[in-house]
Amino acid sequence: MIHAKDIHENSPWTKMTQGGEIYEPATSLLFNTGDWRTQTPVFLEKKCKQCLLCVPYCPDSAIPVKDGKRGEFDLMHCKGCGICITACPFDAIVWKEDA
């Protein structure tokens, strides 16, 4: 069995899975896809009421929740789509100014 973590840009073709199949879950955690982002959201914790509406709206599961409260964005996976900014009823998420 060849695992995703063992496949990299120097892997020979004989050490890769047939058809690029991936035999385990959550391998996206290994990849920094946050660098696709051109704009970055900023979490304003003081304005946040912890309604958690932003969490299910995020298409990339980039808003971690712990003990019933959301935390800082997972910027390794956030694509900067801004859906959370629209979804937030309390203006607790804004675009980063210099991004």
Residue 69 makes CB contacts below 8 A (sequence gap 6+) with: 50
Q: Tell whether residue 68 is a contact of another protein (CB under 8 A).
A: no
Rounded Cα distance, 63 and 84, in Å: 9
Closest CB to another protein among 17 and 40?
A: 17
Residue 22 tokens, joined: 């991936």
2 touching another protein, by CB under 8 A: no
Residue 13 binds another protein (CB under 8 A) = yes
By the criterion CB under 8 A, which residues form the site for another protein?
7, 9, 11-13, 16, 18-25, 27
